[in-house]
Structure 1
Amino acid sequence: MTPLAIAHRAGNSLAGLHAANDLGVDVIECDVHQHRGRLEVRHLKTAGPLPFLWDRWELASASAPRLGLRELLEADEKGTTFMLDLKGRRIGTARAVARLLHELGHRQPLLVCARYWPAVEVLATRDYVRPVLSARNRAELGRLRQRVAAGPPVHGVSVHATLLDEPLVASLREHVEVVMTWPVNDEATLDAVLAVGANGIISDEPAVLATLLARRE
């Protein structure tokens, strides 16, 4: 399978959506949160009652406009294949996404990913949804290997780049079509993950995705 070029977080803004589509990537990822009954796409997290959003080295005002998942999907004019990364340990977020997709009559292929796998399973029954299970650390990876070997089939897995080696990828690809990995933000990492057999490259860097796309020509 030709390695997929996946634009990490590009769907968290309309500018990112359009730029990634212009680049010609295969999949555009966005981070889906449910906040006060609304589905939002953003990487930054809320801070309870405090008036800001945060993530490690970044702060933003909680009152700043936030892009909604509905607005993102309605703005798409390219037939984009999105990957919705469902955040948090809440089934309710997945159910709200399911309702929204029904309201919009969405039928485009759609990847749904989460570290909380029950949320993925809520949407996996839809024929246009390609479920992807994610693992960030070794404990999650151990459970992931058991799940893909014994559980209902899934389209793919998303595993942090630091956990990958060739035997692991070969083992996973016996059960799934796509082994994705992140973060792949420089050419050396791109070469390394391709060498062990990863076939879904998740990157924040347009230059890395452009390199991957150029190699496929």
Structure 2
Amino acid sequence: MLAVAHRGGNTIAGLRAALDAGVDLVEADVHLYRGALEMRHSRAIGPRLYWDRTTGVTRRRDVVVPELEEVLAVAGDDPRLMLDLKGPSLAVADRVAGTLRERRPGVPVAVCTKQWRMLDAFAGDANVRRILSAANPRQLSRLRARLRRERAHGVSIRLRLLTPEIVAELHRSTDLVMAWSVETEPELDRSFELGVTGVISKNLALLGRIAGR
């Protein structure tokens, strides 16, 4: 079972803590905003505000948001990064792909997104593991149809959408099936029952126990 730190790379302190905890992957969300590749889950509301479902509205000046190059500098050659590409514009994928080729050529990295066309930007990069993400029943239905036609490097799917039958079906087309978000022991037990190969969680203590196994 792979242990993946959900949003762990969105701050420098979080990235270091997750790597020190021994997780298998550290997820970091990437937005392209005004030419900068910002590491954050919150959405930008104009030039001065962020919004997140859990934290509500915050002012940009009150939040420290690292950029991708800062995260890559801290990670160095560590292969445990998983970059989750966000936003409506496909341009974020080209920018991230170019930055990775320039700053970390050949270093293994995972890239995931709900906008699967973004992954085409990494098609020629053998070091990039491309992961298809699904957050709702419609996306999952499209994903299952796609995987009946072709194999995938991996998939990342909301936990409540999965059943043992669906996971078994997905495993016929990929070795990596990750569930998110898994924050409690019952959710972890459910993940084992489903047969997934990885869990994505903000609970570092939980991830540490998985990594310790």
| Fold shared, TM-score > 0.5 on shorter chain | yes
AA at the equivalent of 2:171: R
CA distance in 2, matches of 1:149, 1:143: 10
Q: Secondary structure at the match of 1:107?
A: coil
The 10-residue stretch of structure 1 (115-124 or 55-64) with the greater mean CA deviation from structure 2: 55-64
Which of 51, 55, 62 is the aligned partner of 2:52?
Answer: 55
Q: Secondary structure at the match of 1:159?
A: strand
Structure 1: any 5+ residue segments left out of the alignment? none
Matches within 5 A, 1:155-194: 155-194=153-192
8 Å contact kept, 2:131–2:156: yes
Aligned length: 211
CA distance in 2, matches of 1:208, 1:124: 34
- Shift, 1:60, TM fit: 2.2
Q: How much identity, in percent, do the aligned residues show?
A: 40
Q: Secondary structure at the match of 1:150?
A: coil
TM-score by length of 2: 0.94
TM-score by length of 1: 0.93
1:200 is matched with: 198
CA distance in 2, matches of 1:147, 1:125: 20
Q: Secondary structure at the match of 2:196?
A: coil
- Shift, 1:107, TM fit: 1.8
AA at the equivalent of 2:192: L
CA distance in 2, matches of 1:30, 1:210: 18
Q: Secondary structure at the match of 1:125?
A: coil
Spell out, residue by residue over 1:63-96, the C-alpha distance to the aligned partner (whole angstroms, 9 max, x if none): 3442000110011246141110000232210000
AA at the equivalent of 2:209: T
CA distance in 2, matches of 1:163, 1:23: 28
Structure 2: any 5+ residue segments left out of the alignment? none
Matches within 5 A, 1:11-160: 11-49=9-47, 51-58=48-55, 59-63=57-61, 64-77=63-76, 79-151=78-150, 153-160=151-158
